[in-house]
Structure formats: structure tokens, C-alpha cells
């Protein structure tokens, strides 16, 4: 089980390329674009400006560049027609099946409070690799049953307190395997009561009883409320009930706004440091509530937010970092990369075509060349780190974002009182990117991070229900 | 070995408890963990005492045992804090114990929420700042430690004269690129209320501090973000205009000397300053082109977008 570190494989790439059986159209493409295979110098040379002052931060940045450049300049494994590492789908799938099924050795005890996440990450990553995960339906139902508490919500395991993150991961895992039997496992009425306990007077959500109030609480709660079609009215005993007319949305927009920092990015809670993962949580949370072009400019300062998000992408290490002056890491391919479709929708107006504000090519190069563990499969933070389910999920979700265009179509029915704006999204096209047919992942929903059809199936199923 | 495996079931003290084994569901569980025997036993006793909501000394010891085996177990931490309060246990003793755990498991954040709960109830932050300095020796950018520190400042009124600003400055002296420290500085200086943004003296001091940091390392994004934050948020008598930074930005990025730009962030700021005046739009476009083509080309699309917003530069606005 111990995933050993990568060693550079020195396979003969040129032979692989010529041996591969390419369809004719792609053969032509190869012939036509010989110079495209040469890597743009942007991805192979040091940044044009470097300060002389050496500090811990600059040393670490230097070490990371030295680590990544060989992978970018001489990609490992089989190469696609664009000269970058192919998506090693089979190996990743094998790795993820193993990570889903376990059992893990005793050293994995730290995962004992996060088993729903282990399910979610592996299943979500597999759906992006186009694996039909419905074969796991029975086992997901069986595994998640003891996680659920009678008082509502899911804990990290049997006998553990309900937590917003493990509830999110459990619900999404159930949604991904789909089907009536799985969806019926969720006690929606109890969930609604429990979420009511998490809702705070200040507008935010606590992650568990007596737990911290942070933006994960807000995003995970709104995801659960929206997918399960829970009423937005608060249960009577919620701590957020003051006048009696409060809902799950009361003061929520204001609370999310208060997480935007002087840098323009978004923190986990007011006054903390701007962080990529929390930017996604904030944007996705708002986009579940209302039309992005209305709610996002209403709550957040757009120019500084866009500037901050954009500044997390550097060259030549071309993936995303999660904070100012921190290192690139594969998981931010989703946390920061996943902000872009929401930003595009927030900026869009019918008169203006959607244009990219970031580099899809940079992210794809980083993901395919640096984040794949070539030997056993699995995706990772960077080559010096071992792969894990978490990074596999969010690196592939970043690839989904980089490969596709997503659009939001406003509809009369997405009234705020239904928290259904997430259902206005669709895939509007494939981006013109440096991927072969085999490198394409199946897109996931930009807010819920599960396959579109599974999210829709779940919401529909619960919309057709009368009451709870 | 046998003795060790039966730590609870053989103990007189626990004889009255019927352990509750883990329910793994009716089928073959996914993502199962082959727990150690010790962990399995301790957890089954934990489930049993939690089911009774037992608030006792022995339950407290049990939580400690489990935390040592799995500090990421949020339920055990929460249960532990409830027991501490219900049994009126010594909170200073808890902090002493927590210190060893926190230093050992740096990445764990349940510890920080627990610490928050305990220190809040203790109503004293004696020793906290020293301990945080110890934590920062291990990782100067630990998000949970900084978030905890921000809470501490507000809870115990450490805004001024309590060593916080000095602590931040000493971290920035060692690494002027530590953005977490810059963020904490912002909070210390402006976190008490909107009126801080109208305090001319305070704002001038902060501008000088950031400028000095930029002179040390012009390509360090942190102080540039700090300055841009100041420009956006200062107001009243202390309001800063974008234009007032034109000369400063030009020290590091001049359109007259486009081959010798020493800070892409200066060029970015310069473009923003130039974009303010319609007459300077052509120069703003030049600055953005330099960023797109030479100094920060990975963000080419973003710089093009900024260019499209310029008045009269062939962007959308000009076409309209
Ligand atoms: Zn990561």
C-alpha cells in the first residue's frame, strides 16, 4: 500500500510516439504541427524577473522550479501528439479502485475520521475517468449507513459526531452511485434539522456542533440543501432564529463578503489569509444561491478577486498556487482553476462572448507532466509527493475545467427561494487544448463536483417528493 | 502483548462498560482500515461511554489515549472538551499537554480549535504568544496557527503594545515574502474598525513599511498586494490615490526603459494607474502588452482582458 516515490522512467518516447496507432486525422495533425511539439519557452525557462534577496520562500520556490522543470521539458511516459505526457487512465483507475476498496494498513488510522472523503474522492476521480461507479452502489449504501446519525447528518465513521464536511462527502458519494435505494438512505428531515443547528446568527455555518465557523461550512451546507431540495426555512430550534423569519440564506451573502481580504482573494473566515480552496467554496456557495452575474458582483470586489486568482498561476511551473508566495500544488488545479468558470459566468453578458482569463495550456501541461505518478498511477501535489485520493480527485477536476467550457443559462425558475441556480449550468463546448482524444476526462459539475446527470437525478428525485 | 491488547477489557476500572464494536454496515465496507488492536479496543469503549454521555476522569484518559493514536479524530476532541468543562478539569494542565501534541502533529487542525475553546474558557492568553513563536519555528505559514493567532488578538485585545506587531516584523525580517505575516500585519493595523482606514498617520506608516519591503525585493508580491489593498480601502483624510504611486511604481517599471523592468507587480500597478486617465490609455496598453509578452506571459489572457477594459483602446468599451 505504501506508495513509493516516483523515479524518473527513461522510456524511449520517440518510439512510443511513432508506434502508436493514431487515427488518420490525428496523424495529419502531427505532420502539420511539428513545431507545436517543441515546448514554448514559457514553460521551460526561469521567470524573467528574479530578486537577489534570498529568503526561505525564495529558496523553496527555487527548489520547486528545479524539481518541476525536468518534467516540463522532458515529459515522462507515453506522450500525446502535443509532446506532453498522456493521461494514464488505466493506471489511475486501478489506483483509485484500490483506494476506494481498501483495506488500508493500520498507519492509515488518521483517515478514520474522514472515510466519507475517501469514498468521495475516489468515486469522483473515477467518474472523471469515465468509470461507471454504479457498480459500487450496494457497498456505498452499506458503508455509509453507519456514518449517518439519527439526529441528522453524517459523521466520519460509526459513532462519530455529524460534521458538515463528512456529510457533504457522504451525500455526494451517494449521489454519484445514484438510484432510488441509495438516495433513500439519506434522512432528509433529520439533515434539515441538523443543518439548522449549524446555521449561525452571523450568517455563516459551523462545521459541527461546537466546531469552527468557516466557509467550508457555508459551501457544504448549500450544496447539501440544493441537491436534496431541502426547505430554506430554518427549523424552529436553530440558533440563527431571532425574529422567526430567518432562513438558511439570512446574512449569508454578507458573511461570505466579509471573507474577502485586502488582497482580493477569499479567506476561510473573516480576517484570515486569502486561500485558493476558500475562494472556490465562496464562489460555488454564492453560485448555488443565485445567478452568478447577479450575486457574485453583488458580494465581492471583482477586479481584485480576478487579479488575485490570476496571480496564482506562474510560469514555468504553470499550475496554481493556493496563496500569495506559496508553491504550486496539483489540488489547486481545482480550487483555483475551478473558480474560472464561475468568474466567466459572473462576468458574462449576452452581448459579450466568454473569453478565458487564464492559461488552460499551462494548467494542462502541469497536470499531465508533473501530477501523474507514472509507475502505479494516482495523481499528486507535485513529483516529490506521493499520490493520494484527494489530489487525484482535485487534479482531475482541474483537468475537467481546463478541457471544457461551462455556461450558465438563467431561468425564471431559479428563484433564490429554491437554491437551485446550480442547475442552470451546462457544458457548452470543448476547449481547443493540447489533449489527445484519450486525454479527455468526463466533465464534472462546476459547483457540485460530481457528474452533471447525477446531480440532476438527485435534485429531480427529491423535487418529485411531497414534503420530506 | 496480550496485556497490552486488553488495556480496557481487563481493567477493573472499565468492568462496568460494555464496549460497542464498530458497525461496518451489512456488506463489505469500502475504504476500510485494518486498525491496530489497541485502536479497535479503545474506540469500542469510546462509543460506549459516548452513548452514555459519560463525563468522567476515566473517559478523559480514554480520549487522550485515542488522540495519541489518531489526533485527526474531531469527535474525540469535541467530546474531550465537553468532559473538561463538565468535570471542571484543570485548563492550564490541558494547555501544557496540548503544547506537546501540537508540536508533534503540526498539520493537525482539530488541535487548534480545541485550543481556541480552552483558552477562551481560561480567559487568559498567558504564554500563548511564546508558544505560537515555537510553532512558527516549524512552519511559518501554517494557516491554522495564523488563524488562531488572529482570533487571539481580538479575544485578548492584543492590537497594540502587546508584542504582536513586533512578532510580525521579526518574521518579516527573516522572510519578507511570508504572506501570512503580511496578512496578520494588516489585521493588527486595520482590524479594529473602519476608522483605522481614516487614520492618516497609521496609513502613512504602513505605506512606508511596504515601500521599504519592496526596495528589498521588488518582485515580492506581498507588499504590492498590501499597497493595493491600502489604495482600495483607505478613506477620508487618509485616502490614497492610485496616481500618487506613479512615481514609486516607475522606479521598478518604466515605459521609457521597457527592457529593465525589475518588478512585474510594479508594471501591473502602473498599468492600473495609467488606465485611470483616458489620455494615458495608450501607455496603459503598452504596460499591459509588456506584461503579456515579456514579463508575465502565463497570464496573457488576463492582461488582454485588462486591456479590453481600457477606454479607447480597441476594447469592448471603445467599440460600444
Ligand atoms: Zn495539495
Q: Which residues surround ligand 1, an ion (CB under 5 A)?
A: A 329, 331, 381
- In chain A, the residue whose alpha carbon lies closest to the alpha carbon of B47 is A159
> Chain A: nearest CA to B172, how far in angstroms?
10
* Burial of A192 from C-beta contacts in 10 A (0-12 / 13-18 / 19+): buried
Confidence band for B6, pLDDT divided at 50, 70 and 90: confident
pLDDT of residue B311: 81
B170-202 pLDDT, tens digit each: 999 999 999 999 999 999 999 999 999 999 999
- pLDDT over threshold 60, residue A178: yes
Residue B63 at interface with chain A, using a CB cutoff of 8 Å? no
Contact B228 A304 (CB under 8 A): yes
Which chain A residues are within 8 Å of B106, Cβ to Cβ? none
CA separation for the pair A333, A276 (Å, rounded): 10
Residue B68 at interface with chain A, using a CB cutoff of 8 Å? no
- pLDDT over threshold 60, residue A12: no
pLDDT of residue A112: 97
Domain residue limits, chain A: 4-463
Residues with Cβ < 8 Å from B244, sequence gap 6 or more? none
Distance from Cα A442 to the centre of ligand 1, integer Å: 22
pLDDT of residue A104: 96
pLDDT of residue A331: 98
pLDDT of residue A28: 42
Residue B104 at interface with chain A, using a CB cutoff of 8 Å? no
Mean pLDDT score of chain B = 94
Q: Does residue B292 lie in a domain region?
A: yes
Residue A348 vs residue A14, higher pLDDT: A348
Per-residue pLDDT, averaged over A249-266, amounts to 98
Contact B31 A118 (CB under 8 A): yes
CA separation for the pair B51, A179 (Å, rounded): 33
Q: Does residue B184 lie in a domain region?
A: no
Confidence band for A411, pLDDT divided at 50, 70 and 90: confident
Structural domain harbouring B13 = 1-89
Q: How many separate domains does chain B show? A: 2
Per-residue pLDDT, averaged over A91-118, amounts to 96
Q: Does residue B162 lie in a domain region?
A: no
Residue B31 at interface with chain A, using a CB cutoff of 8 Å? yes
CATH topology of domain A4-463: Glycosyltransferase (1.50.10)
pLDDT of residue A23: 38
Confidence band for A37, pLDDT divided at 50, 70 and 90: confident
> Chain A: nearest CA to B48, how far in angstroms?
9
B204-232 pLDDT, tens digit each: 999 999 999 999 999 999 999 999 999 99
Distance from Cα A327 to the centre of ligand 1, integer Å: 10
Question: Given B57, B89, B121, which residue is the final one in a domain?
Answer: B89
Contact B46 A111 (CB under 8 A): no
- pLDDT over threshold 90, residue A467: no
Contact B294 A48 (CB under 8 A): yes
Question: Given B72, B89, B106, which residue is the final one in a domain?
Answer: B89
Q: Are B80 and B40 in contact (CB under 8 A)?
A: no
Question: Given B74, B89, B104, which residue is the final one in a domain?
Answer: B89
Confidence band for A352, pLDDT divided at 50, 70 and 90: low
> Chain A: nearest CA to B28, how far in angstroms?
6
CA separation for the pair A268, B160 (Å, rounded): 25
Cβ-nearest to B147 among A49, A102, A272: A272
Entry pTM: 0.93
CA separation for the pair A365, A46 (Å, rounded): 16
Most distant CA atoms of chain B, gap in Å: 87
Mean pLDDT score of chain A = 91
Among A40, A41, A57, the residue to mutate for chain B (most B Cβ within 10 A): A57
Cis peptide before A103 (omega within 30 of 0): yes
Q: Does residue B222 lie in a domain region?
A: no
The CATH number linked to B4 is 1.25.40
Which chain B residues are within 8 Å of A140, Cβ to Cβ? 30
Per-residue pLDDT, averaged over A172-194, amounts to 98
Share of chain A above pLDDT 90, in %: 86
Q: Does residue B201 lie in a domain region?
A: no
Q: Are A337 and A363 in contact (CB under 8 A)?
A: yes
Catalytic residue among B4, B7, B107, B141: B107
Among A107, A137, A271, the residue to mutate for chain B (most B Cβ within 10 A): A271
pLDDT of residue A200: 97
Distance from Cα A342 to the centre of ligand 1, integer Å: 21
pLDDT of residue B318: 38
Cα dist from A399 to A154, A387, A392, A408, A442, whole Å? 29, 16, 11, 20, 9
Q: Is B294 a catalytic residue?
A: no
Confidence band for A20, pLDDT divided at 50, 70 and 90: very low
pLDDT of residue B106: 81
Amino acid at each position: 500500500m505504501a506508495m513509493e516515490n516516483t523515479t524518473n522512467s527513461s522510456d524511449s518516447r520517440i518510439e512510443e510516439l511513432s508506434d502508436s496507432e493514431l487515427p488518420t486525422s490525428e496523424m495529419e495533425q502531427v505532420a502539420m504541427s511539428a513545431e507545436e511539439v517543441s515546448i514554448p519557452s514559457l514553460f521551460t525557462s526561469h521567470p524573467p524577473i528574479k530578486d537577489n534577496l534570498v529568503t526561505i520562500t525564495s529558496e523553496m520556490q527555487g527548489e520547486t522550479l528545479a524539481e518541476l522543470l525536468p518534467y516540463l521539458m522532458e515529459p515522462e511516459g507515453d506522450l500525446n501528439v502535443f509532446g506532453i505526457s498522456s493521461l494514464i487512465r488505466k493506471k489511475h483507475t486501478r489506483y483509485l479502485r484500490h483506494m476506494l476498496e481498501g483495506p488500508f494498513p493500520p498507519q492509515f488510522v488518521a483517515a478514520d475520521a474522514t472515510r466519507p472523503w475517501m469514498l468521495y474522492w475516489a468515486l469522483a476521480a473515477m467518474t472523471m475517468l469515465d468509470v461507471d461507479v454504479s457498480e459500487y452502489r450496494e457497498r456505498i449504501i452499506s458503508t455509509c449507513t453507519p456514518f449517518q446519525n439519527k439526529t441528522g447528518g453524517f459523521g466520519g465513521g460509526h459513532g462519530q459526531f455529524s460534521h458538515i464536511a463528512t456529510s457533504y462527502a457522504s451525500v455526494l458519494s451517494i449521489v454519484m452511485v445514484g438510484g432510488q435505494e441509495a438516495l433513500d438512505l439519506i434522512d432528509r428531515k433529520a439533515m434539515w434539522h441538523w443543518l439548522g443547528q449549524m446555521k449561525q446568527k452571523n450568517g455563516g455555518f459551523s462545521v459541527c456542533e461546537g466546531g469552527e465557523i468557516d466557509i467550508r461550512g457555508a459551501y457544504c451546507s448549500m450544496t447539501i440543501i440544493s441537491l436534496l431540495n431541502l426547505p430554506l426555512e430554518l427549523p424552529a430550534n436553530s440558533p440563527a432564529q431571532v425574529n422567526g423569519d430567518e432562513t438558511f440564506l439570512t446574512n449569508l451573502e454578507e458573511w461570505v463578503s466579509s471573507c474577502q481580504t485586502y488582497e482580493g482573494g477569499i479567506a476561510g473566515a473573516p480576517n484570515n489569509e486569502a486561500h485558493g480552496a476558500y475562494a472556490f467554496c465562496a464562489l460555488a456557495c454564492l453560485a448555488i444561491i443565485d445567478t452568478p452575474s447577479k450575486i457574485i458582483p453583488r458580494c465581492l470586489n471583482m477586479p481584485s478577486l480576478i487579479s488575485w486568482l490570476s496571480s496564482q498561476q506562474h510560469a514555468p511551473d504553470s499550475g496554481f498556487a493556493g496563496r500569495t508566495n506559496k508553491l504550486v500544488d496539483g489540488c489547486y488545479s481545482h480550487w483555483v482553476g475551478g473558480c474560472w468558470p464561475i468568474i466567466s459566468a459572473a462576468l458574462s453578458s449576452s452581448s459579450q462572448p466568454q473569453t478565458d482569463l487564464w492559461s488552460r495550456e499551462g494548467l494542462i501541461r502541469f497536470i499531465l507532466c508533473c501530477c501523474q505518478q507514472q509507475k502505479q498511477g494516482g495523481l499528486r501535489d507535485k513529483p516529490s509527493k506521493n499520490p493520494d485520493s484527494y489530489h487525484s480527485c482535485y487534479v482531475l477536476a482541474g483537468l475537467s475545467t481546463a478541457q471544457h467550457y461551462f455556461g450558465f443559462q438563467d431561468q425564471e425558475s431559479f428563484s433564490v427561494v429554491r437554491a437551485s441556480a446550480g442547475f442552470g449550468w451546462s457544458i457548452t463546448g470543448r476547449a481547443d487544448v493540447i489533449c489527445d482524444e484519450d486525454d479527455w476526462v468526463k466533465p464534472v459539475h462546476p459547483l457540485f463536483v460530481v457528474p452533471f446527470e447525477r446531480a440532476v437525478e438527485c435534485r429531480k428525485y427529491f423535487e418529485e417528493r411531497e414534503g420530506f | 502483548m496480550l496485556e497490552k491488547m486488553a488495556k480496557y477489557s481487563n481493567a477493573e476500572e472499565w468492568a462496568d462498560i460494555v464496549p460497542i464494536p464498530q458497525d461496518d454496515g451489512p456488506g463489505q465496507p469500502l475504504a476500510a482500515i485494518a486498525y491496530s488492536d489497541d485502536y479497535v479496543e479503545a474506540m469500542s469503549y469510546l462509543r460506549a461511554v459516548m452513548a452514555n454521555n459519560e463525563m468522567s476522569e476515566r473517559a478523559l484518559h480514554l480520549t487522550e489515549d485515542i488522540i495519541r493514536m489518531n489526533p485527526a479524530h474531531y469527535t474525540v476532541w469535541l467530546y474531550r472538551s465537553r468532559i473538561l468543562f463538565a468535570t471542571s478539569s484543570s485548563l492550564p494542565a490541558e494547555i501544557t499537554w496540548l503544547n506537546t501534541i501540537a508540536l508533534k502533529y503540526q498539520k493537525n487542525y482539530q488541535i487548534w480549535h480545541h485550543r481556541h475553546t480552552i483558552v477562551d474558557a481560561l480567559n487568559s492568553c498567558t504564554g500563548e504568544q511564546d508558544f505560537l513563536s515555537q510553532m512558527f519555528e516549524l512552519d511559518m505559514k501554517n494557516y491554522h496557527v495564523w488563524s488562531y493567532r488572529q482570533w487571539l488578538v481580538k479575544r485578548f485585545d492584543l492590537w497594540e503594545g502587546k508584542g504582536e506587531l513586533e512578532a510580525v516584523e521579526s518574521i518579516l525580517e527573516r522572510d519578507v515574502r511570508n504572506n501570512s505575516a503580511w496578512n496578520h500585519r494588516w489585521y493588527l493595523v486595520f482590524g479594529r474598525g473602519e476608522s483605522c482606514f481614516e487614520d492618516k498617520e497609521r496609513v502613512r506608516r504602513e505605506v512606508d513599511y511596504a515601500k521599504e519591503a519592496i526596495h528589498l525585493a521588488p518582485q515580492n508580491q506581498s507588499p504590492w498586494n498590501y499597497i493595493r489593498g491600502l489604495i482600495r480601502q483607505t478613506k477620508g483624510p487618509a485616502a490614497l490615490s492610485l496616481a500618487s504611486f506613479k512615481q514609486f511604481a516607475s522606479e521598478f517599471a518604466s515605459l521609457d526603459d521597457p527592457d529593465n523592468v525589475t518588478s512585474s507587480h510594479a508594471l501591473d500597478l502602473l498599468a492600473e494607474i495609467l488606465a485611470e486617465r483616458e489620455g494615458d490609455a495608450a501607455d496603459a496598453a503598452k504596460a499591459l502588452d509588456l506584461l503579456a509578452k515579456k514579463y508575465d506571459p502565463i497570464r496573457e489572457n488576463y492582461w488582454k482582458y485588462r486591456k479590453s477594459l481600457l477606454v479607447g483602446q480597441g476594447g469592448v468599451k471603445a467599440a460600444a
